[in-house]
């Protein structure tokens, strides 16, 4: 009975953690949207600076996107790798 409860807590905790890790995708989406909006405004004001503004914007978006990718990697690890590791730890502690 206790083993089933412990397994349920492990799986539930991993699922909640993966969901929380995916919240990390909200920040880059909002930040990149703001960056593109400001870049469009800047190009509208000074069309001759299009190349500089665009390259800076793309570099910033790439850096901002890494946060979302780290969240995705953590979520994938929590879904596919962590439960098995935690179950192995639990079973070894019972023996």
Give mean pLDDT, residues 14-21: 94
3-state secondary structure 74-85: HHHHHHHCHHHH
For residues 24 and 70, the answer to whether their CB atoms sit within 8 Å is yes
Q: pLDDT tens digits, residue range 58-95?
A: 999 999 899 899 999 999 999 999 999 998 988 888 87
The pTM for the full model equals 0.76
- Residues 21, 70: contact at Cβ < 8 Å? no
Give CA–CA dist 80/70, Å, rounded.
15
Region 31-39 average pLDDT: 92
């Amino acid at each position: 009975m206790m083993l089933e409860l412990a397994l349920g807590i492990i799986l539930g905790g991993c699922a909640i953690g993966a969901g929380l890790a995916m919240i990390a995708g909200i920040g880059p989406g909002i930040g990149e949207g703001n960056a593109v909006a400001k870049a469009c405004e800047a190009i509208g004001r000074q069309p001759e600076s299009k190349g500089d503004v665009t390259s800076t914007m793309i570099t910033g978006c790439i850096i901002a996107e890494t946060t979302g990718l780290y969240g995705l990697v953590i979520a994938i690890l929590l879904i596919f790798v962590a439960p098995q590791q935690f179950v192995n730890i639990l079973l070894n502690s019972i023996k």
